[in-house]
Amino acid sequence: MSCAASSATSRGIRASATSASCRAPSIGVDRDAVIEDYAATEEHLRGPWTDAFLGRIRAHGIQITPALTEIVAGSPPEALDAALARVEREHGSVLACLRAHGLSDAERDRLADALLD
Assign residue 55 the CATH number of its domain. 3.90.190.10
Q: Which residues contact 1 (CB under 8 A, 6 or more apart)?
A: 83, 86, 87, 90
Instruction: Tell me the whole-structure pTM to 2 decimals.
Output: 0.68
Domain region containing 26:
13-115
Would residue 6 count as lying in a domain? Answer: no
Q: Which residue has the higher pLDDT, 12 or 26?
A: 26
Q: How confident is the model at residue 62 (pLDDT cuts 50, 70, 90)?
A: very high
Torsion angle of C-alpha atoms 27, 91, 98, 86, degrees rounded to 10: -80
Q: Which residue has the higher pLDDT, 51 or 23?
A: 51
Query: Count of CB atoms within 10 A of residue 110's CB?
Result: 11
Looking at the chain, how many residues does it have?
117
Would residue 1 count as lying in a domain? Answer: no
CA 56 to chain centre: 22
DSSP state of 24: G
Would residue 70 count as lying in a domain? Answer: yes
Would residue 96 count as lying in a domain? Answer: yes
Would residue 37 count as lying in a domain? Answer: yes
In 3D space, the residue among 61, 76, 102, 92 whose CA is nearest the CA of residue 21 turns out to be 76
Q: How confident is the model at residue 18 (pLDDT cuts 50, 70, 90)?
A: low
Tens of pLDDT, residue by residue over 82-112, are: 988 999 999 998 889 889 999 899 998 888 8
Q: How confident is the model at residue 13 (pLDDT cuts 50, 70, 90)?
A: very low
Would residue 77 count as lying in a domain? Answer: yes
Three-state secondary structure call for residue 75? coil
DSSP state of 73: H
| Residue 19 reports pLDDT greater than 70 | no
Counting the structural domains of the chain, the total is 1
Would residue 8 count as lying in a domain? Answer: no
Tell me what percent of the chain is helix, strand and coil, each rounded to the nearest 5.
Answer: 70, 0, 30
Would residue 34 count as lying in a domain? Answer: yes
